[in-house]
Structure 1
Amino acid sequence: MKLCLTTLGLFAIFLVGLGEAQVTWPNAIDELEDVMFLNSGYRSRGFGAHVTPCSFSEFGAGRQTAAEWLRIGFHDMATTNVFFAPHGGVDGSIQFELNDGENIGLGFNTTLHTYSNFFNSELSIADLIALGVYASVRTCSGPIIPMRGGRIDATIAGPMGVPQPQNVQGTLISQFERMGFNKTEMIQMTACGHTLGGVHAGDFPDIVAPGTVTNDFQLFDSTLTFDNDIATRYINGPDTDPLAVGISIAATRNSDTVTFTADGNVTLQALTNAATFNSVCQNILQRMIETVDPSIVTLSPIIAPYEVKPEGLQLTLLSGGATISFTGDIRVRTTARSVSSVSITYLDRNGAAGGTITTTVSGTASGFDDTFTFYGINANLPSTTSISSFTVFVTDTSGTVETFNNNGAGFPISDSVIVQTPQSCLSDGNITVIAAVRATLTTPASFNITEKVPSTAGKPTVSPVPSLVSTSTTMVQGAAIGPYNIYSGSLSYNYSTGLKYGVGSGAFADTFKDATLLGTACSTVGTTIPSSTSSVVLSTSSVTTSTTGVITSTSSSATATPTLTHKATVGPYTFLGCYTEATNMRALSSESFYNYTGMTIEQCEGDCAGYSYFGVEYGGECYCGNVINTGSVLTALSDCSFICPGNPYEYCGAGVRLEMYELTSLLSTSSALQSTSSSSVVSSFSVVSSTSTAKSSSSSVVLSTSTTQSSSSSVVLSTSTSQTSVTSTSSSSSAPSQTLGIKQTVAGYTFQGCYTEATSERALSAASFYDYPAMTLEECAADCVGYTYWGVEYGGECYCGNVINSGSVPAALTDCSFICPGNPYEYCGAGNRLDLYKIGTSTASSSSSTTSTSTSSLASRGISSTSSTLSTVVSSSTSQTSTTSTSTTSSAAPTQTGPAIKPTIGNYSYYGCQTEGTNIRALTGAVYFNYPAMTLEQCAGDCDGYKYWGVEYGGECYCGNSWNTGSVNASETDCWFTCPGNPLEYCGAGNRLSAYYLT
């Protein structure tokens, strides 16, 4: 969310008024500061994206993540007892309290799963819980909650004591006093907490009757935003707060009424003033997240964004040891600053003047209230003198120069211990790290890793938060190169996600490195100084400093630099070429991953390990699959022109173009790769007919070595013929592709149908497990071994039981529409709906029985066989060619015989068929995917509050408040994909959005 400068100015005044000085870098709050302020753009951390816009939830309808983040902050704090030591506070203990009966609902579990992605040795779960309160209030247009860092995570559950809806007034007052808040503050905190979110009927059926409100979710007030509607509607009416009116009264669960009347509504009456409400909430919520045990925790000063902050600084000893590469970024806060240029002046390792290094713009980023520009450093320094610290000079557009010297200390950088990232590697459960250590250091070098290990004790009450487990080893000293000794060390690991590593020697270290950015092949540091003249910055043999302090080169013996190229091999994969997307679907549709700030070919290869193919598109999008879907064909190599954001020497596809790789074992041993030089254009491929090649649903595809001319791509359709088709990649001898459908049996269990939840409890209540990133039916079956029934709900929730509880009844198969995140060919229930299985033979009626690959199962789910993600094309066994075709079924309403442009969708009007931007998505506010069932109405709901939204590729929904550079209006006929969830609507096309604007 962007705010006007007036608001930003007030924030600046607010911070100045508190007397908070800029902290000295590096600082203990650096990781927290990054996560707090870099929500989108270059080097963004994406924390705020989970609650943007305010109404958003990635877990389906009837959820509001911002409300859940606000709620978990209170529940974590609420077990505090200020009369005893240690007295708790915001300490992350809620991760061990999810099954104590006081923390009902999935929101706490899913929130902790989300926070776990950001959790590491420098950022605690407790700080993330506090940060979640700041982010949720800010994204919903509430006040800026001052944020401090330094909270320490608990290792066990706290005592019972979270206020419950049935508690009487005296109990509630006593509970808040135990937390350190008086009666007035109790009322304030309740009102400020209940301005967001509501009550779920499934969790509290005696407060909200199931089936009486949309999605069984009743809001506390009439808005989704942070405002005083909760107070004004209570005082002036009409009040719809389920904790104040309705069936909660008879059930004595109307705790908001009990709380608000504790002082005769005096406090709540004051909160009907909007300014008062914001001021009070800012204060009380700050106090809530700053409730910590002072004997254990010392909170930092209030965190304000750095005006200037180094990011990702890295030294690397180059071949021969005479030169050190210095790279990284300088982040400059541009909220109220217009920058012309940025340079740094550095001191050498002995404190003498070293020279000046100019920078170039790397990218921009933004948070809720601030914008930033990153200025890249890429310089080579003599290893004998090197660098020890630097000062930053920021020149604005008027010519005024600001000097930033890190509170007089200079920004430090040590060259005593250097991790050699180009030579280090990560592969097959083993990490090998190479480091250069100054020969003057006598302490042996050590190497350590920190893994995020899933908690395993006490399942299913296992904590959603992983444990941090560190391992270290002494490194082996090798050759001396220049003034450095080279060390190496290896360690095995079990979990690569979030894996960090570092090297130390005595008081010096190079630590907190992201292991997933390493390549898969290690190498050695060269002992010879290169003679190439292609160095970007300066030579290695003679460096002088001009009178202006700018580093200049005086020799031709420069250090060789990597060359931007299409990588021929990455791990076990071989480059196939530049491929188009498929017809009406993704070329690779099994899994997808996104990293617009740091994607590399190696990262995508790691994400897609085990798949036959992977490809990188749009710079930051990684796709995996075992088959290249119909319509994806080889195109000109020059089409894949986007440079990888995580490695400027690699290409990462382009718009509707994939940098495509295939498992080398699937390629013909006699085939050779086409040259990837800039003078060549790979434009054709052939199908290998060798029977030794194994691949699901299509023959192996390799690059042709017979041509470099641009021509239509072709495929050999059968091993017995040379005739071709320009639209199909299927072999006549290929097995049909797997399709989405109902699995009749899973691990000895038989499908029973789509079932509702029970009346006042879960349909299956014996045990529960959660895996939103990767749930499959097989995983749930394994978790529920020994139980009579199990079912998957909401895509990632697994429930077990020996009986189906009262009120759970069969529902329409179309209700269970969520696709399993771990297997795109399986269904995993939906909101309040379970795909239910029972041990042994089926008792379901034959009318609900389908096969996993039949089109009838697709129809039963409300999905037309024309849905592009589900169609399969198998060419005939004859020697003739055939073009791609799909079967169609008519589901048109009587008043409409075919798809048409809808002029209005809710509060939005049709904007036109819009292209994507130049090297960037046209709309970058938020993104949602639903390839099986996207509709215009769904996208409008997902993007509610944004100025623009558009649907692309049939199943991709993009939101934003402005169109990015390069996005222009296209021909209406360009947007021709029909929506998979409504074949009477248009949902864009490849690189085209059916776009709407807020009216």
Structure 2
Amino acid sequence: MKLCPTTLGLVAMFLGLGEAQVTWPNAIDELEDVMFLNSGYRSRGFGTHVTPCSFSEFGAGRNTAAEWLRIGFHDMATTNAFVGTHGGVDGSIQFELNDGENIGLGFNTTLHTYANFFNSKLSIGDLVALGVYASTRTCGGPIIPMRGGRIDVTVAGPIGVPQPQNGQGIFINQFTRMGFNTTDMIKMTACGHTLGGVHAGDFNNIVAPGTVANDFQLFDNTLEFDNAIATRYVSGPDTDPLVVGISVANTRNSDFAVFTADKNVTIQAMTDAATFNSMCQDILQRMIETVDPSIVTLSPIIAPYEVKPEGLQLTLLSGGATISFTGDIRVRTTTRSVSSVSITYLDRTGAAGGTITTAVSGTASGFDDSFTFYGINANIPASSSISSFTVVVTGTSGTIETFNNNGAGFPISDSVIVQTPQSCLSNGNLTVLAAVRATVTTPVSLNVTEKVPRTAGSPIVSPVPSLVTTSTTMVKGAAVGPYNIYSGSVSYSSSSGLKYGVGSGTFADSFKDASALGTACSPLGTTLPSSTSSSTSSKTSTSSSATATPTLAHKATVGPYSYLGCYTEGVGVRALSSAAFYNYTGMTIEQCMSDCSGYSYFGVEYGGECYCGNALGTGSILAALSDCSFICPGNAFEYCGAGNRLEMYELTSLVSSSSVVQSTTSKTSSLSSVASSTSTTKTVTSTSSSSSVAPSQTLGIKQTVAGYTFQGCYTEATNIRALSSASFYDYTAMTLEACAADCVGYTYFGVEYAGECYCGNVINTGSVLAAASDCSMVCPGNEFEYCGAGNRLEMYKIGTVTVSTSSSSTSSTSTSSTLSTVVSSSTSKTSTTTTAKPTQTAPAIKPVIGSYKYYGCQTEGTNIRALTGASFYNYTSMNLEMCASNCAGYKYWGVEYGGECYCGNAWNTGSVNATASDCSFLCPGNSLEYCGAGNRLSAYYLP
């Protein structure tokens, strides 16, 4: 990250050093966690989606940071400061994606990302604002002061986002309507356009397709948040496509219209870097604080807590005489060096209770701050219990700081306690047990909040789910000590983002993450544990020796999963191939488990790669436990696999199931360092018996799908979607059948970009038939189907019809044909041109691919990818040319493991040249090319 002296000064100002902390708990607590915990222990990972500034998980030609900054403006831009319904940053953008004013994939993918963080305590509006803060900060810009409390709307806002074709007067009027003057308009445009650029596929009258790498033209010549947008405009050379180029003749040079609105006075002032940063901090803060004042009261500016409790949980133990107290105390270590942390607590009457020592659980960091978590693990008498505590932080120099939560103490209620060990998720049902003090007499309810796909307001369907809360009265059971035990059960559709809690009157234990529960509910004993079990209990007392220091080990169990051992990758296939997630800065075993919820297996490889699946791929076998030696970046006490080695877990309920027994072979792993000194035998799955039978189906165009007939490969329309009635997205499992089912009742459906499904009753103006071979992306949910491509739809229409072919897709003078001319008799994709039969007959190293030359067979780096600029994956059709195209603009690229493409401008530490024969995997898209191997890249460079 680039930090200038001005920015460093803003850091100190923004953090509010010397100002009073907010009182915990607070309405901004969830937002504060997501804002500051980017990587490490208990990290939320929000910032990793835009780190580094150039990163995009969606491929070449995309810049997520720019997309996050842009969506902030588009959400705000429909506001009207002069009417009762004000608008502003209110999440309305999620309902405005088909109105023609929000063109481009970035809006949809951004909202899909935000949907993962969205919950009852964190609105889409706050996430949109936070995205502006994060994208600016990760790219080296000023800290945008952040407040919380935005309230989401449930309908689209009015039309009114400024468009490139508008005249200068219209721009001025639009910004005036938003509450900004002409100078503000220039500032906001320049600060917004310091990141990102224009996609030719979306605006071919601004950037000509095929003229720039990845059809993506930057506004300036850098990826960072800097004032190059201003300096290049004033002093040249200016390459802003909204100032120069074909946009001028097409009257789309909107930046020129905006900057000249005050005769270049403001943009000239912004050529000074300090002035630019100051202006951007001010205008972007005002932008994200544009809200409806009649319904929204924003919080004070959010600064990180110096001390904050995290994940506190009381649990009534067997017999009811003792309560377990667990959780973490998060301490901000940006400005302090800590020796130890302890807590002093009061019992439930307010009398002195005792002191509890803590031990380090892990560390985390954000853009500008570092934190250390100190774990609590103590037993407290249930009769006296606990009501609040203070935190004592001892520095390495002997200094002592006492934090008392602004004089109130950190409160904790023991009146209603969710019993997490006795609660579980199984077969679509959430079962919860709660211990409720016998003195509490009001009804006890189980409250469950589920994320449900939003269909209200169809045909426009939001990418963000709605939150649906279900409540049920819990049933009173046995008395255990001073508590009564209550139980309740609620069915759910998806465990993803499922939250639950128990309440009774003014008492509650709420906002619990259901994904942390197991699949089996443990019993709660009504009798006290024996002295033998007490003496061996892992729970600690409140003495100074209460908590054992965690040690590095392979975890025996994680949630509902049990450890299988250290496994190799498959042979020419991923060991687990259903889903994949990446976090090289904050991965933990728990994070991977959460990402893979619902799958039979999950495994962590190479420190930061998480894979999920319901069966192990062919050739994946048990390896030496010591092979899995990489330490998790998000938890220094866990192992996260290694190169070509997965830390493998299986659902506990399947471990002994006969349905997963391998035909004749059992795998044995010594888990002495995990759970005991004995060896544990695990019986695991390989792929099903059918995997050895070659499929009879081949990849090709489907002529009919669920009553729909193939029309051809169509382009998008002009400034609007080709099919604009409804849309659905699934980048991991889309099929033609799934899209057809989603579009029932519509005349047309089309699949684009592999995972995007569009429906409509008409094909909008500007959408035309393209070459059938243009639709070349394979459906992620069915390797035998095509699912369009970028700006290309695999188009179907209800019934049987004839179609016309585009003159661009055939050399024939005929302009119409029956379907048989569009789809060949073999149903495989063909182009209308012919090429010479290749003379190559055996696999060989290709010395040249386009402008790139062969570099050699290169190893991965040491605890880091060899190339970290960008990455792309295609395990069914990867070839060297595909990787070269995806990495255009980078100095180096390489293909690994058959289907993985990596790009970068430098080789990272530890990556060295290996024997050429090590790169032995054949490319799935071209059996005459080599595509690396496990931990080996077939590498190329730009001379």
TM-score range, shorter chain: 0.7 to 0.9
Amino acid at match of 1:534: T
Amino acid at match of 1:832: N
* Contact 1:210–1:759 under 8 Å retained in 2: no
Give the distance between the partners of 2:338 and 2:866, measured in 1 at CA.
Answer: 25
Aligned counterparts, 1:732-743, within 5 A: 736=695
Tell me the SS of whatever aligns to 1:513: strand
Aligned counterparts, 1:53-72, within 5 A: 53-72=52-71
Aligned counterparts, 1:315-326, within 5 A: 315-326=314-325
* Contact 1:149–1:299 under 8 Å retained in 2: yes
1:251 deviates by: 3.6
Give the distance between the partners of 2:634 and 2:784, measured in 1 at CA.
Answer: 32
**Higher relative contact order, structure no. (Cα contacts within 8 Å, ≥ 6 residues apart):** 2
2:590 is the counterpart of 1:599: yes
2:567 is the counterpart of 1:579: yes
TM-score by length of 2: 0.83
1:287 deviates by: 0.7
1:631 deviates by: 1.9
Aligned equivalent of 2:616: 628
Tell me the SS of whatever aligns to 1:320: coil
Q: Work out which of the residue numbers 557, 577, 595 in structure 2 matches 1:589.
A: 577
Give the distance between the partners of 1:805 and 1:848, measured in 2 at CA.
Answer: 28
Deviation by residue 1:968-995 (Cα, 9 ceiling, x = unmatched): 8796579635584788987664456789
Deviation by residue 1:298-322 (Cα, 9 ceiling, x = unmatched): 1111111122221111111111212
- Aligned-pair identity in percent equals 72
Tell me the SS of whatever aligns to 2:477: strand
Q: Work out which of the residue numbers 808, 812, 821 in structure 1 matches 2:768.
A: 808
Amino acid at match of 2:754: G
Q: Work out which of the residue numbers 913, 926, 931 in structure 1 matches 2:875.
A: 931
Amino acid at match of 2:25: P
Aligned counterparts, 1:494-573, within 5 A: 494-530=493-529, 531-532=532-533, 533-538=535-540, 550=544, 566=556
* Contact 1:590–1:824 under 8 Å retained in 2: no
Change (3 A) 1:250 1:615: closer
Aligned counterparts, 1:846-857, within 5 A: none
Change (3 A) 1:975 1:14: farther
1:456 deviates by: 0.7
Amino acid at match of 2:78: T
Change (3 A) 1:125 1:576: closer
Amino acid at match of 2:574: R
Aligned equivalent of 1:220: 219
Change (3 A) 1:923 1:284: same
2:690 is the counterpart of 1:697: yes
- Bigger mean CA offset, 792-801 vs 743-752: 743-752
* Contact 2:588–2:635 under 8 Å retained in 1: no
2:859 is the counterpart of 1:913: yes
* Contact 1:203–1:761 under 8 Å retained in 2: no
2:824 is the counterpart of 1:833: no
Tell me the SS of whatever aligns to 2:65: helix
Give the distance between the partners of 1:67 and 1:128, measured in 2 at CA.
Answer: 15
Change (3 A) 1:685 1:126: closer
1:149 deviates by: 0.7
Give the distance between the partners of 2:766 and 2:7, measured in 1 at CA.
Answer: 54
Tell me the SS of whatever aligns to 1:354: strand
Aligned equivalent of 1:879: none
Give the distance between the partners of 1:687 and 1:779, measured in 2 at CA.
Answer: 29
Q: Work out which of the residue numbers 727, 730, 741 in structure 2 matches 1:782.
A: 741
Number of residue pairs matched by the alignment? 899
1:241 deviates by: 2.6
1:134 deviates by: 0.8
2:612 is the counterpart of 1:666: no
1:437 deviates by: 1.2
Change (3 A) 1:758 1:566: same
Aligned equivalent of 1:883: none
2:730 is the counterpart of 1:771: yes
* Contact 1:93–1:154 under 8 Å retained in 2: yes
Aligned equivalent of 1:902: 855
Deviation by residue 1:116-142 (Cα, 9 ceiling, x = unmatched): 111111011111111111111112221
Give the distance between the partners of 2:312 and 2:885, measured in 1 at CA.
Answer: 42
Amino acid at match of 1:808: V
Tell me the SS of whatever aligns to 2:420: coil
Give the distance between the partners of 2:387 and 2:922, measured in 1 at CA.
Answer: 58
1:913 deviates by: 2.4
Aligned equivalent of 2:26: 27
Aligned equivalent of 2:808: none
Aligned equivalent of 2:753: 794
* Contact 1:477–1:485 under 8 Å retained in 2: yes
2:936 is the counterpart of 1:976: no
Change (3 A) 1:307 1:626: closer
* Contact 2:92–2:157 under 8 Å retained in 1: yes
1:294 deviates by: 2.3
* Contact 1:363–1:373 under 8 Å retained in 2: yes
Change (3 A) 1:502 1:187: same
Give the distance between the partners of 1:436 and 1:782, measured in 2 at CA.
Answer: 45
Change (3 A) 1:666 1:183: same
* Contact 1:744–1:849 under 8 Å retained in 2: no
Aligned equivalent of 1:608: 599
Give the distance between the partners of 2:527 and 2:401, measured in 1 at CA.
Answer: 41
Give the distance between the partners of 1:54 and 1:652, measured in 2 at CA.
Answer: 26
Tell me the SS of whatever aligns to 2:855: coil
Give the distance between the partners of 2:680 and 2:623, measured in 1 at CA.
Answer: 7
Deviation by residue 1:867-923 (Cα, 9 ceiling, x = unmatched): xxxxxxxxxxxxxxxxxxxx9953654779xx99616xxxxxx9x624654xx9899
Aligned counterparts, 1:128-143, within 5 A: 128-143=127-142
* Contact 2:565–2:648 under 8 Å retained in 1: yes
Amino acid at match of 2:751: V
1:17 deviates by: 6.3
Deviation by residue 1:785-841 (Cα, 9 ceiling, x = unmatched): 46665432222222346559656344473x545443444564433322334446548
* Contact 2:324–2:539 under 8 Å retained in 1: no
Aligned equivalent of 2:463: 464
1:398 deviates by: 3.2
Give the distance between the partners of 1:644 and 1:477, measured in 2 at CA.
Answer: 43
Amino acid at match of 2:499: K
Change (3 A) 1:684 1:120: closer
Amino acid at match of 1:791: G
Amino acid at match of 2:327: G
1:687 deviates by: 9.6
Change (3 A) 1:647 1:495: farther
Aligned equivalent of 1:715: none
1:397 deviates by: 3.3
Amino acid at match of 1:90: V
* Contact 2:362–2:636 under 8 Å retained in 1: no
Amino acid at match of 1:495: S
Change (3 A) 1:680 1:793: same
Aligned equivalent of 1:409: 408
Change (3 A) 1:392 1:234: same
1:56 deviates by: 2.7
Aligned equivalent of 1:907: none
Q: What stretches of structure 1 of length at least 5 have no aligned partner?
A: 689-693, 699-729, 863-886, 904-909
Give the distance between the partners of 2:572 and 2:899, measured in 1 at CA.
Answer: 10
- Bigger mean CA offset, 920-929 vs 768-777: 920-929
1:845 deviates by: 4.9
Tell me the SS of whatever aligns to 2:510: strand
Aligned equivalent of 1:73: 72
Deviation by residue 1:581-627 (Cα, 9 ceiling, x = unmatched): 21233112233356834628975774216xxx665657886544465
* Contact 1:666–1:695 under 8 Å retained in 2: no
* Contact 1:577–1:659 under 8 Å retained in 2: yes
